[in-house]
Amino acid sequence: MSEQKHDWTKEEILEIYNKPLMELLYEAATVHRKFHDPNTVQVSTLLSIKTGGCPEDCGYCPQAARYHTDIEGNDLMQVSHVKAQALRAKASGSSRVCMGAAWRNVKDGPEFDQVLEMVRTINKLDMEVCCTLGMLTENQAKRLAEAGLYAYNHNLDTSEDYYKDVISTRAFEDRLETIDNVRKSNVTVCSGGIIGMGEAIEDRAGMLVALATLNPQPESVPINALVAVEGTPMEDMEPVSIWEMVRMVATTRIVMPETQVRLSAGRTQMSREGQAMCFFAGANSIFAGDKLLTTPNPDVNEDMEMFKLLGLNPQKPFTKVSQPQSVEAEDSQHQPLGEKPKWSRPGHTITRNEEAKAKTKLV
């Protein structure tokens, strides 16, 4: 039975965020262990399939055409190249490939058809496929679902109150509408934000309110630390401290207990000890690879070495949550039911524990 709470207030979340650190860590770790295997981390690889030239004015983004950055733009990647990159990611331990295109919104036509073929191609590799392509219509979301898309990323970025200080070319409501369109399809939602953009702690709480009051809550919530890029309006922002990241991860874990909390941008500025604290606080997903679209990221071999030191294991693809399974459940060759769960992909099977839950719902 889900234990999601959907009526969080900013005051409640601020109270959690501001707890004494040891108390906050203990509570977050306790929640994390209740819903997830603390030694399992989902690994995703982020691939920029179309870089630069975006018409938006997001203050943090070096891909905006109006800013003078060193980003070298490129046209939409070929399907064969995407497949090669996906195979490389799979060999390195990733269970998901996230494809990002620097678009304001998806436009029907040859390029979208090419993206759909990329989704179908990666899906056949027994990997989860995620896309972040900007705003989506309900019909486009359904076409992506039919192609086998597992997740769609559309970050809120920050609170509704601070949003206009970050971007003016798209409204906060536009982001919520895209998330709603994704929810109408058989695709899971990935939505989070960025800290360190000059926002107040109240804005961080406000962003979590917006995410945690969604019903259902997002299956994945990336927590990014701003990577200040020269040439963007936020180039002079000071990096957030590891303590701010730990508090944000822990608070996210407590208010969204079943969600996978992704430790995203900014990991190159974190020590292994700092990342370990984030995992302890409830982070159970990372991006692997030497680049996150356009910003630096730890080398995948460094991440695997860190996993070895911490005793962490990469999560297998198409797992709802990293929840420990009983031996009986693991041994059962999962029998599919008539109605597929929203988080499954075509052909996905479910565990005996999940089957029992589904039967209860059908009754």
16 occurs within a structural domain? yes
User: Cβ(252)–Cβ(259) under 8 Å?
Assistant: yes
Claim to verify: residue 116 and residue 200 sit in the same structural domain: yes
230 and 347 co-located in one domain: no
Whether 227 maps to a domain, the answer reads: yes
pLDDT of residue 32: 97
Task: Give the count of alpha carbons within 13 A of 306, CB side only.
Answer: 22
Look up the domain containing 207 and give its range. Answer: 10-314
CB 258 within 8 A of CB 35: yes
- Asked whether the beta carbons of 311 and 39 are under 8 A apart, the reply is yes
Question: Is residue 2 situated within a structural domain?
Answer: no
Domain annotation covers residue 260: yes
pLDDT at residue 211 greater than cutoff 60: yes
Q: Which of 277, 284, 271, 258 is nearest to 189 (CA)?
A: 258
The pLDDT assigned to 230 comes to 74
The pLDDT of residue 312:
93
Instruction: Write the CB contacts of 12 (distance below 8 Å, at least 6 apart in sequence).
Output: none
Whether 331 shows a pLDDT value over 70: the answer reads no
pLDDT beyond 60 at 243: yes
* From 96, 98, 253, 267, the catalytic residue: 98
The reported pLDDT for the residue numbered 360 is 33
pLDDT value at residue 148? 94
262: annotated active-site residue: yes
Q: 98 a known binding residue?
A: yes
Quote the pLDDT of residue 325.
Answer: 37
- Do the strands 313-314 and 128-132 form a parallel or antiparallel pair, or are they unpaired? unpaired
Dump pLDDT digits (tens) for 277-324. Answer: 999 999 999 887 654 444 455 667 888 889 999 999 999 988 875 444
Across the range 122-151, mean pLDDT stands at: 93
Please report the pLDDT score of residue 154 as a whole number. 92
190 included as an active-site residue: yes
Candidate ranges 68-77, 121-130, 342-351; pick with highest mean pLDDT: 121-130
Phi/psi of residue 239, each to 5°? -60, 145
How high is the mean pLDDT of the chain? 81
Q: Place 270 in a pLDDT band, splitting at 50, 70 and 90.
A: confident
My answer on whether 350 and 211 are in the same domain is no
Q: Which of 183, 262, 267, 345 is catalytic?
A: 262
130 is in an annotated binding site: yes
The rounded distance, in Å, linking the Cα atoms of 292 and 306 is 19
- 131 known member of a binding site: no
Measured distance CA(327)–CA(348) in Å, rounded: 20
* CATH number of the domain within which 88 lies: 3.20.20.70
Both 218 and 340 in one domain: the answer is no
Same-domain status, 309 and 358? no
Q: How many CB atoms lie within 10 A of CB 121?
A: 17
Q: Are residues 331 and 222 in the same domain?
A: no
209 and 340 together in one domain: no
The helix (run of H) or strand (run of E) holding residue 138 is helix 138-147
Q: How many domains does the chain have?
A: 2
3: in domain: no
Residue 267 pLDDT level (bands cut at 50, 70, 90)? confident
Residue holding tokens 């999940």? 354
Of the candidates 37, 40, 36, which has an alpha carbon nearest to the alpha carbon of residue 307? 40
131 catalytically annotated: no
Top-confidence range, 3-7, 129-133, 254-258: 254-258
Residue 223 confidence (pLDDT) above 50: yes
165 and 268 belong to one structural domain: yes
Same domain, yes or no, for 153 and 57?
yes
Distance CA 97, CA 130 (A): 6
Lowest-pLDDT range of 42-51, 125-134, 184-193? 42-51
Q: Write 27-32 long-range contacts (CB < 8 A, 24+).
A: 27/250, 27/254, 28/249, 28/250, 28/251, 28/253, 28/254, 28/281, 28/282, 29/280, 29/281, 29/282, 31/253, 31/254, 31/257, 31/282, 32/253, 32/257, 32/281, 32/282, 32/284
* Annotated catalytic residue, options 190, 247, 253, 267: 190
Q: Are residues 291 and 354 in the same domain?
A: no
Considering only residues 181 and 330, tell me which one the structure prediction assigns the higher pLDDT.
181
pLDDT above 50 for 9? yes
Question: Are 16 and 58 in a shared domain?
Answer: yes
49 within domain boundaries: yes
Catalytic-residue membership of 278: no
- pLDDT of 134 reads 86
102 in the same domain as 192: yes
What's the pLDDT score for residue 73?
61
CA distance 330 to 328: 5
Nearest to 145 by CA among 116, 177, 109, 185: 185
pLDDT value of residue 289? 62
pLDDT at residue 347 greater than cutoff 80? no
The answer to whether residue 1 sits within a structural domain is: no
61 catalytic? Reply is: yes
Q: Is the pLDDT of residue 266 over 60?
A: yes
Give residue-wise pLDDT tens across range 13-40: 999 999 999 999 999 999 999 999 999 9
